Structure 1
């Protein structure tokens, strides 16, 4: 059962809410999600659901997107799905937008936006996030053995230093096990 609320002019429908007490995304946090943005007539502006390809996950910092999206997603938890109805003044305004998308966004357009939050990295863990993004060479928000192996190869001496310190040869597999045990988190 969905819940609906208004916040600073944005209509927020929570389609799927995780358990109470979860960590909700705050300004400055990095979040990974999938999205679908359309005009009132159904014209797609951007989507993670591309035909004939896998779902495209994207990452953003809350507070760095259009104000309507930031307002509507603040407090959303990992696994949460929200539908937002965003008025023009909190999105593209009274001017038509001809640069951001493949289609022209007419002036005074209300935007319909759906997002599912897949993961959240609190601002306090930003240094870990930067290390993770550095290792995620293909940008899929997953770090696999090949990517870790490539980082260890590129960072001269790191593989040798870790092997010597830990007394192990297969550092890349150890790192993947470490990431997996932490749910992809570096804490």
Structure 2
């Protein structure tokens, strides 16, 4: 059974977690052994009927050029008149964090009665576990998205099926400095009690 000290340590870990922009994340990133632990913690997320509706695809350093090209093509598909600087700005995003992964959810496929909302919640819990374990190891992490994530060049690069959707990129690395903590909601702002 967990004790008060464990609860206090867990509260300290969760409350001190913060997101870092990918451009603020540098080497070193997690080792293969650390990443295995991080993914093992993701696997503890709630999963109704063991649907396993989410997956993670790592984009290793040797594939960042492919991601960079996909970002550029996605931008030009949306805006054929994008400037060269805008294209370069889109491409550089692929090279920022030491570790970049795409979280993917299967909310519309599978032979399962589990509703899409529960599948997305399961994926969100897995992602949060990744962030918390990375934070416990001393890394910074953040989710990022953007219009390119939903477009064909990126979908094709990561092998998304027609019934799968990208949730976010997960960026992990060593932060260059602490950032100021953002204001957080207090329980009274989001908790109410049902009344007769």
Tell me if TM exceeds 0.5: no
User: TM-score, structure 2 length as denominator?
Assistant: 0.21
Structure showing greater Rg: 1
More strand by proportion, 1 or 2? 1
RCO higher in 1 or 2 (8 Å CA, sep ≥ 6)? 2
Give me the TM-score of the superposition, normalised by structure 1. 0.22
Indicate the structure with greater helix content: 2
